[in-house]
């Protein structure tokens, strides 16, 4: 044996002979001829410095050293297979960690269902969800603290790729005893005289989108409170501070005293984008491919799995 020492093939050859107690049968199983097999075993014994297999004209048997070596050789070969499989899984993006940024509103839109489905598809990937304002998500992506995120109206960053994920409608949210609640559908202009509870514009480009839609409808919304999350918006509307504009999915957590009324003509949409670095890991690539398939590349008008 050369100075590189034992190799896995030497262990495989030894285990085959040890398990069959026949050089002829072991050579057949290994698909090699018997003389090279015998030479490999002799080289192995020379490397170790002791006889592993006792040979006679009638039979083959393991020496005590050979029996002990067999146990270890099997363990090493099994561990090598596990290491190979693990490397393949990681290389294919089926193992590792995945840090996803999101807001509570996006989670209501169906992100949870998408992530749960991915965990079934790739159980070796640990997905960690991080709830934070949109601006912080983009900063965390740039700093490498997040692998990807789901954002409404993301900014323009040449280092990031943006793909449409899903889109949903926007509804007017108001107390059920509000005079406008008797209507099944509202025009955005119907809300011109109402006080608004808004997402905080400093943290939300989606809030800017809603503001622009109101301007295009002929009025500037009179904002009385600004908050970060959808559940806080609904709590303030329920307490009588004003009305709001929210993605349709927010009704999943709406208090019983609130009504959601669709807007005629769909003047506002809540579009969600998948945002990730142009240079990314195999795990991120695997999730992106899964999301594209499940979401139909954003072609659907509902949430994930719609």
Residue 196: which residues within 8 A CB-CB, separation 6 or more? Answer: 221, 222, 223, 224, 242, 243, 244, 245
How do strand 148-152 and strand 95-102 relate by DSSP bridges?
parallel
Q: What is the pLDDT of residue 23?
A: 92
Residue 93: pLDDT band by 50, 70, 90 thresholds? low
Least confident segment among 57-61, 196-200, 216-220: 57-61
16, burial (CB in 10 Å: exposed 0-12, middle 13-18, buried 19+): buried
CATH code of the domain made up of 8-91: 1.10.10.10
Among 271, 302, 255, 267, which residue's Cα sits nearest to residue 186?
267
The domain defined by 167-269 carries CATH number 1.10.3720.10: no
Domain segments of the chain as ranges: 8-91, 95-165+274-295, 167-269
User: In terms of CATH architecture, what is 95-165+274-295?
Assistant: 3-Layer(aba) Sandwich (3.40)
Q: Structure pTM?
A: 0.64
Residue 302: pLDDT band by 50, 70, 90 thresholds? very low
Q: What is the pLDDT of residue 54?
A: 92
Q: What is the pLDDT of residue 266?
A: 82
Query: For residues 121-155, b (16+ Cβ closer than 10 Å) or e, as one string?
Result: ebeebebeeeebbbebbbebbeeeebbbbbbbebe
């Amino acid at each position: 044996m050369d100075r590189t020492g034992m190799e896995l093939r030497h262990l495989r050859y030894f285990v085959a002979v040890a398990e069959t107690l026949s050089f002829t049968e072991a050579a057949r199983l290994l698909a090699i001829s018997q003389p090279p097999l015998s030479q490999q075993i002799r080289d192995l014994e020379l490397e170790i410095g002791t006889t592993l297999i006792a040979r006679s004209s009638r039979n083959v048997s393991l020496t005590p050293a050979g029996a002990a070596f067999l146990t270890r050789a099997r363990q090493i070969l099994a561990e090598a297979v596990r290491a190979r499989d693990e490397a393949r899984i990681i290389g294919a993006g089926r193992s590792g960690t995945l840090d996803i940024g999101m807001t509570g509103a996006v989670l209501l839109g169906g992100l949870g269902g998408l992530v749960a489905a991915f965990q079934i598809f790739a159980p070796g990937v640990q997905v960690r969800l991080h709830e934070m304002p949109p601006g912080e998500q983009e900063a965390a992506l740039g700093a490498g603290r997040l692998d990807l995120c789901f954002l409404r109206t993301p900014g323009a960053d040449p280092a990031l790729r943006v793909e449409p994920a899903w889109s949903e409608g926007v509804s007017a949210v108001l107390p059920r005893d509000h005079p406008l609640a008797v209507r099944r559908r509202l025009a955005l202009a119907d809300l011109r005289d109402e006080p608004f509870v808004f997402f905080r514009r400093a943290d939300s480009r989606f809030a800017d989108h809603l503001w622009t839609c109101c301007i295009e409808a002929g009025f500037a919304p009179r904002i009385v409170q600004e908050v970060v999350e959808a559940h806080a918006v609904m709590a303030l509307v329920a307490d009588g501070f004003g009305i709001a504009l929210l993605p349709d999915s927010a009704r999943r957590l709406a208090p019983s005293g609130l009504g959601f009324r669709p807007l005629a003509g769909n003047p506002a949409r809540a579009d969600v984008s998948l945002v990730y670095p142009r240079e990314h890991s195999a795990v991120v690539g695997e999730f992106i491919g899964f999301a594209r398939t499940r979401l139909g590349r954003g072609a659907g008008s509902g949430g994930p799995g719609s």
